[in-house]
Structure 1
Amino acid sequence: MIILLLISFTLFAAINALGPVRPFLPPTLPQPGRDLPVMRIFENYAASCRPTNKRDFNVDQLASLLQSLQMDEVAIKAYKSIFFAMGDMQIEKFMGKWYTVVDSKEIHKEDCPIFYFDMIMQSQFTATFTSKQYALLNNDVVTNEGYGSMHGPEPGAVLITTGHGSDQCPYFPVRLGGLNDDGDYQYMILSTPLKYPTMVLTRNLEKFETEWRQEVYDFVEKYGFMSPMAALNTRLHFTDVNVCRKVNKLYENGAV
Structure 2
Amino acid sequence: MTISFVILLLLIPLVDTSTVRPFTSSAIPIPGRNVPIMRLFENYAASCRPTNKRDFNMDQLANLLQSFQMDEVATKQYNSLFFSMADMQIEKFMGKWYTVVDSKEVHKEDCGIFYFDMVLQTPYTATFTSKQYAFLNNDVVTNEGYGSMVGPEPGAVLITTGHERDQCPFFPVRIGGLNDEGEYQYMILSTPLKYPTMVLTRDMEQFETKWKREVYDFVEKNGFMSPMAALNTRLHFTDTDVCRKVNKLYENGNV
* TM more than 0.5: yes
Cα distance between partner residues in 2 of 1:85 and 1:115: 23
The answer to whether the Cα contact below 8 Å between 2:17 and 2:51 also exists between their aligned partners in 1 is no
Cα 1:115–1:50, aligned 2, differ >3 Å: closer, same or farther? same
Partner residue of 1:5?
5
In structure 1, list runs of 5 or more residues that go unmatched. none
Cα 1:59–1:228, aligned 2, differ >3 Å: closer, same or farther? farther
Q: What is the letter of the counterpart of residue 107 of structure 1?
A: V
Partner residue of 1:223?
222
Cα distance between partner residues in 2 of 1:164 and 1:210: 30
Partner residue of 2:142?
143
Provide TM-score, normalisation by structure 2: 0.94
Cα distance between partner residues in 1 of 2:188 and 2:85: 10
Partner residue of 2:113?
114
Cα distance between partner residues in 2 of 1:52 and 1:239: 30
Q: Secondary structure at the match of 1:246?
A: helix
**CA-based RMSD:** 1.8
Cα distance between partner residues in 2 of 1:111 and 1:22: 27
Larger deviation: 171-180 or 53-62? 53-62
The answer to whether the Cα contact below 8 Å between 1:41 and 1:156 also exists between their aligned partners in 2 is yes
Is residue 97 of structure 2 the alignment partner of residue 78 of structure 1?
no
Summarize deviations over 1:119-145 as a string: whole Å, max 9, x none: 001111111000000001101000000
Shift of 1:31: 2.9
Give the number of aligned pairs.
Answer: 253
Shift of 1:182: 1.3
Q: What is the letter of the counterpart of residue 95 of structure 1?
A: M
Q: Secondary structure at the match of 2:178?
A: coil
Provide TM-score, normalisation by structure 1: 0.94
Q: Secondary structure at the match of 1:8?
A: helix
Partner residue of 1:128?
127
Summarize deviations over 1:2-53 as a string: whole Å, max 9, x none: 12211221112x3427897542266x9523660x211111111110001101
In structure 2, list runs of 5 or more residues that go unmatched. none
Partner residue of 2:30?
30
Cα 1:68–1:219, aligned 2, differ >3 Å: closer, same or farther? same
The answer to whether the Cα contact below 8 Å between 2:24 and 2:47 also exists between their aligned partners in 1 is no
